[in-house]
């Protein structure tokens, strides 16, 4: 697999140097792998820290800025960051109002953020956590590590970021972040596997004419393999999986998210099918976001996330945001 | 009796075998994980060897706690905290004695494995590193070589199991038929112990 890289060992550092060059409003510590908004800590505001393996860009580093994350910690490709990074980030963004860790539910992320939270508390930083676990494809939480954190991470980071920007206290920002997670569900499909720089070839074998339903965002295979379906059929399967689990009664935010290698032309076509199926099911749509936000390297495919919102969540979603990956109202 | 030098040799031997087997570990991690187990552990154990040379701790416990801390701050993923905790807790259980017996090591390693089970929530049979480590600790009373064999057999025995913890659990029944990468690297760690003992 050809890749636009120097050597596999330096892909994360190279990308951080490039992020720094493109976004002088971010303080990018390439050596210690922490991305912080340059004006942090912001007096009176809760700091928001997230992080995870690299390979999901713009998540998380591309969501650092006013109205969203205060700092992000990128790990190696598909590998959670280490506690030292999160501790450094927490210390950089804590204004005294405390820090919220936004953690996607993967064993590695949970363990490393837990260790970092203990270390931060030892240093007198008040830390609260929210776990994102929106992926409905993981049906049996008794015999797995539980549902994965995927597309809903964007909604959690955006809405909690707006709450922090309004000066809400830590407990309130945490409660809102939890509400967003509990109101969100996602389902992903893959048309191809992705190739990690370390391996250099696809992480699993997906023959032409077949697709994977219920994939995660780390190149791991899904729950089920089927003969190729049309965009309309895929939309029906994805909406059914999400809506049956969420049972929305309020309007929803819709995220039609590309996994990295699917053109926007196809994503918008898929969005049209998602809308058709949501209308058939009588689910009102409040806002729509289409694009590559929570990606999986060069995987082809898409995920659908729905988040049902009340007036407050919608107001916070609409609030101004100014980050490399998400920007409106400013 | 086993001194700090023995424990340094254990870490160096493990680093060398992780280096040799990195591609195999990553290949095992591809069908049921995310294809990075080899490169992550390689980075971690290379850093362990470096820091042990720099700081040269003088006790067995010192070597293992430093190695564990280094793994936690360099590996990431689940492997970092799990392997880091294994070595750190084993090291702590050894205290600050300058030499320890094989029996003391077996006892300390059991405490380390217990800590890993608590942290990761895995039990034997869940298709994880525990499936190699528990039989190895059980066999350590006989000899280091017996522990190595038990760990290797434990790793191979994960093949027909369905994963219930970690990332392989997401593929459900499709994890059956693949040897667990974490159990495989744990067998390398125990093999490093036998190598340090010259067995």
| A135 DSSP 8-state letter | B
pLDDT at B189 over 60: yes
The answer to whether A219 and A193 are in contact (CB under 8 A) is yes
Closest C-alpha among B84, B81, B86, B77 to residue B168? B77
Cβ burial of A300 (10 Å; 0-12, 13-18, 19+) is buried
Could you give the CA distance from residue A20 to residue A38 in angstroms, rounded to a whole number?
11
Q: Which of B36, B164, B174 sits opposite A77 (nearest CB)?
A: B36
Q: What radius of gyration, in Å, describes the C-alpha atoms of chain B?
A: 15
Q: Residues A272-297: what's their mean pLDDT? A: 98
CATH code, domain with B70:
1.25.40.340
pLDDT at B159 over 90: yes
Give the global pTM: 0.90
Q: CA of B124 to nearest chain A CA: how many angstroms apart? A: 14
pLDDT tens profile B103-129: 999 999 999 999 999 999 899 999 999
Q: How confident is the model at residue A201 (pLDDT cuts 50, 70, 90)?
A: confident
Could you give the CA distance from residue B170 to residue A150 in angstroms, rounded to a whole number?
13
Active site residue A60: no
User: In terms of pLDDT, which residue wins out, B45 or B31?
Assistant: B45
Could you give the CA distance from residue B128 to residue B120 in angstroms, rounded to a whole number?
10
From first CA to last CA, the distance across chain A in angstroms is 40
DSSP string, B34-92: -S-HHHHHHHHHHHHHHHHHHH--SSHHHHHHHHHHHHHHHT-TTHHHHHHHHHHHHHH
List the domains of chain A with CATH numbers: 12-183 (3.40.50.10440), 184-308 (3.30.1180.20)
Residues in chain A within 8 Å Cβ distance of B46: none
pLDDT tens profile A104-148: 999 899 999 999 998 999 999 999 999 999 999 887 655 667 899
Task: Provide the ipTM.
Answer: 0.82
Q: CA of A210 to nearest chain B CA: how many angstroms apart? A: 17
Q: Give the model's pLDDT for residue A142.
A: 56
Cα atoms in the 13 Å half-sphere on the side-chain side of A85: 33
Sequence-ordered list of residues with C-beta below 8 angstroms from that of A4, at least 6 positions apart, any chain: none
Could you give the CA distance from residue B131 to residue A104 in angstroms, rounded to a whole number?
27
**Mutation for testing the B interface, residue in A12, A53, A81, A108 having most B CBs under 10 Å:** A108
pLDDT tens profile A152-194: 999 999 999 999 999 999 999 999 999 999 999 999 999 999 9
Give me the numbers of helices (H) and strands (E) for chain A, helices first please: 8, 14
Q: Does B164 touch chain A (CB under 8 A)?
A: yes
Q: CA of B156 to nearest chain A CA: how many angstroms apart? A: 21
Q: Do A82 and B80 touch (CB under 8 A)?
A: yes
Active site residue A275: no
Work out the percent of chain B whose per-residue pLDDT is above 70: 100
pLDDT at B141 over 60: yes
Q: Which of B38, B77, B170 sits opposite A220 (nearest CB)?
A: B170
- CB contacts under 8 A, B 76-135 vs A, are 76-82, 119-120
Q: Do B35 and A196 touch (CB under 8 A)?
A: yes
Give the range of the structural domain holding residue B58, as residue numbers without chain letter: 2-196
The answer to whether B59 and B52 are in contact (CB under 8 A) is no
Work out the percent of chain A whose per-residue pLDDT is above 70: 98
Q: Do A203 and B76 touch (CB under 8 A)?
A: no
Closest C-alpha among A263, A270, A253, A269 to residue A305? A253
Q: Do A220 and B32 touch (CB under 8 A)?
A: yes
Q: Give the model's pLDDT for residue A141.
A: 57
Q: How many domains does chain B have?
A: 1
Q: CA of B60 to nearest chain A CA: how many angstroms apart? A: 24
Asked if the peptide bond before residue A58 counts as cis, ω within 30 degrees of 0, the response is yes
Q: Does B185 touch chain A (CB under 8 A)?
A: no
Q: Give the model's pLDDT for residue B36.
A: 81
Asked if the peptide bond before residue A76 counts as cis, ω within 30 degrees of 0, the response is no
Q: Give the model's pLDDT for residue B88.
A: 95
């Amino acid at each position: 697999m050809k890749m636009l890289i120097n050597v596999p060992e330096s892909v994360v550092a190279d990308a951080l140097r490039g992020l720094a060059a493109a976004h002088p409003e971010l303080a990018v510590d390439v050596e210690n792998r922490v991305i912080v908004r340059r004006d942090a800590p912001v007096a009176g505001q809760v700091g928001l820290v997230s992080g995870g393996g690299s390979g999901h860009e713009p998540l998380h580093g591309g969501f650092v800025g006013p109205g969203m994350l205060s700092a992000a910690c990128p790990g190696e490709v598909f590998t959670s960051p280490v506690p030292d990074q999160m501790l450094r980030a927490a210390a950089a963004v804590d204004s005294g109002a405390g820090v919220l860790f936004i953690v996607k539910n993967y064993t590695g992320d949970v363990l490393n953020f837990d260790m970092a939270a203990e270390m931060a508390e030892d240093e007198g930083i008040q830390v609260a956590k929210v776990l994102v676990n929106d992926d409905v494809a993981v049906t049996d939480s008794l015999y797995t590590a539980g549902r994965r954190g995927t597309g809903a991470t964007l909604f959690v980071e955006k809405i909690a970021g707006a709450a922090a920007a309004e000066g809400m206290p830590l407990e309130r920002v945490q409660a809102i972040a939890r509400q967003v997670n509990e109101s969100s569900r996602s389902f992903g499909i893959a048309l191809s596997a992705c190739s990690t720089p370390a391996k250099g070839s696809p992480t699993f074998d997906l023959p032409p004419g077949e697709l994977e339903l219920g994939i995660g965002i780390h190149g791991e295979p899904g729950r089920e393999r089927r003969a190729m379906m049309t965009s309309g059929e895929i939309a029906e399967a994805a909406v059914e999986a999400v809506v049956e689990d969420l049972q929305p009664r309020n309007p929803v935010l819709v995220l039609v998210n590309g996994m990295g290698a699917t053109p926007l032309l196809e994503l918008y076509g898929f969005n049209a099918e998602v809308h058709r199926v949501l209308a058939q099911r009588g689910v009102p749509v409040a806002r729509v976001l289409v694009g590559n936000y929570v990606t999986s390297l060069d995987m082809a495919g898409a995920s659908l996330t729905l988040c049902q919102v009340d007036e407050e969540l919608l107001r916070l979603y609409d609030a101004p945001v100014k980050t490399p990956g998400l920007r409106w109202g400013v | 009796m086993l001194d700090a030098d023995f424990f340094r040799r254990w870490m160096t031997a493990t680093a060398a075998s992780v280096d040799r087997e990195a591609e195999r570990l990553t290949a095992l991690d591809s069908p049921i994980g995310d294809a990075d187990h080899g490169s992550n552990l390689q980075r971690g154990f290379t850093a362990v060897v470096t820091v042990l040379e720099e700081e040269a701790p003088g006790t067995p416990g010192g070597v293992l706690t430093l190695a564990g801390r280094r793994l936690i701050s360099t590996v990431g993923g689940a492997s970092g905290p799990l392997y880091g905790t294994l070595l750190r807790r084993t090291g702590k259980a050894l205290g600050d004695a300058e030499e320890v017996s094989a029996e003391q090591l077996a006892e300390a390693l059991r405490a380390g494995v217990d800590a890993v089970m608590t942290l990761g929530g895995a039990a034997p049979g869940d298709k994880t590193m525990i499936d190699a480590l528990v039989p190895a600790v059980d066999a350590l009373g006989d000899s280091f070589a017996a522990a190595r064999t038990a760990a290797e057999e434990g790793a191979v025995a994960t093949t027909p199991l369905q994963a219930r913890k970690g990332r392989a659990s997401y593929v459900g029944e499709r994890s059956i038929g693949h040897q667990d990468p974490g159990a495989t690297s744990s067998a390398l760690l125990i093999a490093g112990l036998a190598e340090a003992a010259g067995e």
